[in-house]
Amino acid sequence: MWTPGRMSNAKSWLGLGMSLYFWGLMDLTTTVLSGTPTPPGKLEALLPDKPQSHLRIKRSWVWNQFFVLEEYTGTDPLYVGKLHSDMDRGDGSIKYILSGEGAGVVFTIDDTTGDIHAIQRLDREERAQYTLRAQALDRRTGRPMEPESEFIIKIQDINDNEPKFLDGPYVATVPEMSPVGTSVIQVTATDADDPTYGNSARVVYSILQGQPYFSVDSKTGVIRTALMNMDREAKEYYEVIIQAKDMGGQLGGLAGTTTVNITLSDVNDNPPRFPQKHYQMSVLESAPVSSTVGRVFAKDLDEGINAEMKYTIVDGDGADAFDINTDPNFQVGIITVKKPLSFESKKSYTLKVEGANPHLEMRFLNLGPFQDTTTVHISVEDVDEPPIFEPGFYFVEVPEDVAIGTTIQIISAKDPDVTNNSIRYSIDRSSDPGRFFYVDITTGALMTARPLDREEFSWHNITVLAMEMNNPSQVGSVSVTIKVLDVNDNAPEFPRFYEAFVCENAKAGQLIQTVSAVDQDDPHNGQHFHYSLAPEAANNPNFTVRDNQDNTARILTRRSGFGQQEQSVFYLPILIADSGQPVLSSTGTLTIQVCSCDDDGQVLSCSPEAYMLPVSLSRGALIAILACIFVLLVHIFKTKGIKQHSTQKWTDTKAI
């Protein structure tokens, strides 16, 4: 309906006025008196089928809007409202035309009465409003009686959509033993209905399944724990069903549900327990170190890091013979051999093993100690073992002049088994290819079989075998290292042939040679040689020997003046003696040639028949010789020149 107070708004909408029609649901608070005149030249939007007198209109209505309820299911077209021009006299001369969104498809208008109907089912969630245009034409001439006006038809919401959980189903985790009220997860339901109109979209949450373990906040959808001390080991998985209902949860509201799968995560609230308080195990005495004896297992109802275990040996007489390690994959304790075992020495052991959680939670310590113990009995089983030598290594020193067949060591072995079988001894011949030794088959006496020579082999490393008489496959072995000790059985001698010379003009006491000696022996205190003339040359008038007391000796002339023509070579026998017991000695000969020398002692010739210049001359001798040659050449050339001059002069005279 049009009123004077809305004149300014009417101008902007080109004279199209519209009423709000709520099918009896409007809050009518204002009375419009009948007989109110309609301004000329305006289209009027009238409420359907309502008299113009005593009509009450909602204060907040928008004058250019129609409202129509969605989801109409009747068979007849749904009446929306009426358009009316004040120029319409009811004689059918005015024709109403509708255009815009949905015109002719969704909405139709009676071109005579101006009644608007919806001819399709409307869904607000699909489309909330339509914008249309209306015009009044002169039916006869087609001339517009009113300017075209625009108006809106809004689809009025009804509660036709239930709440939906778009993110469901949900998966959540909460630690076991959590306090009551611990937040688990928040679920959210959405309602496609209009949240601004009524309670159609106001959602209230409730729990249909999952009590008394969990609760849900009716407004926020936050799920919380509702029961104390929920134990994962008793029940781990929970299926909770949450309902969301619109209309604020009132009767007649629509509802939707979702599933929340809640898992209790583990905390360390269970101590480990050994299912057996006693374990019985056995191991062969021949088991190598680090080999496995057996396994123990402490069961823990927790999982993951909370079920991790650490095993230790806390008591027992086998703590030094066995060890225990934790298998991190299966959380079992693996008992292993720590040192060699012997059935004959100890036949059984007892271990007290503890299994404990290394990762503890302080709030659960009151549940008891998080460790448990068990007793392990280990029996050592006998095996047939090879003979054992005592000691396990032999070192023998023997002089090299020991007589053949001398016992140098008693080798001893025994059967470690209770049966104590008889032993037979032998030498591994690959360790003694020269067969210098042999061993008595029954007594184990190790003896020499050949003469020993330290200067040839100073060390021998042989392997002695011990075999059980009743079981030849059981063979033990031991290494015997033999050091051959030196005895003084080699005389000292010159290391090479010594040859010296003496000048004819040598003086008495002149050094002509220094000699040294070698000895194949190796005395403990080192070599000490003594030099002297051999007995047959003790009174030699030509040369003498001076011992330097440092294992060398000097050969000196005893007189002056030697002549090649008299004696060109001397042979001087020198006696060399060691300091061993007994003293051994040898005679070495020094060959001495008599040579002619210059004034500086340089040898010119060592043979009386030699006419050639000596190989080695002094610088003065060479200069003298070269000077003589030079003088001789000058003399020759000078004589030759004189002869040529005389001949030429004689020839010239003859020519004259």
User: What is the pLDDT at residue 85?
Assistant: 84
Residue where the block lists tokens 């003293």? 583
Q: Which of 55-59, 211-215, 301-305, 451-455 has the lowest mean pLDDT?
A: 55-59
Q: Give CA–CA dist 351/331, Å, rounded.
A: 19
Q: Give CA–CA dist 97/135, Å, rounded.
A: 5
Same domain, 84 and 200: no
| Helix (DSSP H) and strand (DSSP E) numbers for the chain | 2, 41
Residues 6 or more apart from 129 whose CB is under 8 A from it? 152, 153, 154, 155
Same domain, 19 and 123: yes
Counting the structural domains of the chain, the total is: 5
> What would the mean pLDDT of 482-493 be, rounded to a whole number?
90
Same domain, 504 and 593: yes
Residue 47 confidence class, pLDDT cut points 50, 70, 90: very low
Same domain, 517 and 595: yes
Rg (CA), the chain: 67
Residue scoring higher pLDDT (5 or 537): 537
Same domain, 594 and 509: yes
Residue 654 lies in a domain: no
Same domain, 30 and 134: yes
Same domain, 393 and 373: no
> What would the mean pLDDT of 467-496 be, rounded to a whole number?
91
Same domain, 476 and 577: no
Which of 581, 605, 629 corresponds to the end of one domain? 605
Res. 149: pLDDT tops 70: yes
Residue 371 lies in a domain: yes
Residue scoring higher pLDDT (647 or 552): 552
Q: Give CA–CA dist 262/226, Å, rounded.
A: 13
- Please provide the DSSP assignment of 514-562 as one string: EEE-B-S---TT----EEEE-GGGTT-SSEEEEE-SSSEEEEEESSS--
Q: Give CA–CA dist 511/503, Å, rounded.
A: 11
Both structure tokens of 457: 């082999």
Contact 268, 364 (CB under 8 A): yes
Q: Give CA–CA dist 577/557, Å, rounded.
A: 22
Which of 98, 127, 156 corresponds to the end of one domain? 156
Give Cα separations from 531 to 53, 280, 412, 491 (angstroms).
167, 83, 50, 13
Residue 610 lies in a domain: no
Residue where the block lists tokens 């509660």? 159
Same domain, 135 and 212: no
User: What is the pLDDT at residue 76?
Assistant: 84
Percent of the chain with pLDDT over 70: 82
Q: Give CA–CA dist 340/357, Å, rounded.
A: 31
Q: Which of 56-60, 147-151, 319-323, 595-599 has the lowest mean pLDDT?
A: 56-60
Same domain, 234 and 356: no
Q: Give CA–CA dist 593/568, Å, rounded.
A: 6
Residue 532 lies in a domain: yes
DSSP 487: -
3-class DSSP state for residue 621? Answer: helix
Residue 542 lies in a domain: yes
Closest by CA position to 169, among listed 223, 249, 233: 223
Residue 168 confidence class, pLDDT cut points 50, 70, 90: confident
Residue 512 confidence class, pLDDT cut points 50, 70, 90: very high
Contact 95, 111 (CB under 8 A): yes
Same domain, 258 and 184: yes
Residue where the block lists tokens 């949905």? 102
Q: How many CA atoms lie within 13 A of 633 on its CB side?
A: 6
Mode of pairing for the β-strands spanning 388-389 and 78-85: unpaired
Q: Which of 394-398, 404-408, 612-616, 634-638 has the lowest mean pLDDT?
A: 612-616
Q: Which of 305-319, 383-397, 412-426, 526-540 has the lowest mean pLDDT?
A: 412-426
Beta-bridged to residue 590, according to DSSP, are 572
**Residue-range definition of the domain harbouring residue 254:** 170-265
pLDDT in tens, 410-461: 999 998 887 778 899 999 999 999 999 999 999 999 999 999 998 899 999 9
Residue 271 lies in a domain: no
Which of 128, 156, 184 corresponds to the end of one domain? 156
- Which CATH number covers residue 219? 2.60.40.60
Same domain, 67 and 211: no
Contact 574, 532 (CB under 8 A): yes
Residue 546 lies in a domain: yes
Average pLDDT, the chain: 82
Both structure tokens of 159: 């509660």
3-class DSSP state for residue 131? Answer: strand
Measured CA angle at 649 (ends 645, 651), to 5 deg = 120
Residue 490 lies in a domain: no
Closest by CA position to 462, among listed 390, 403, 522, 409: 409
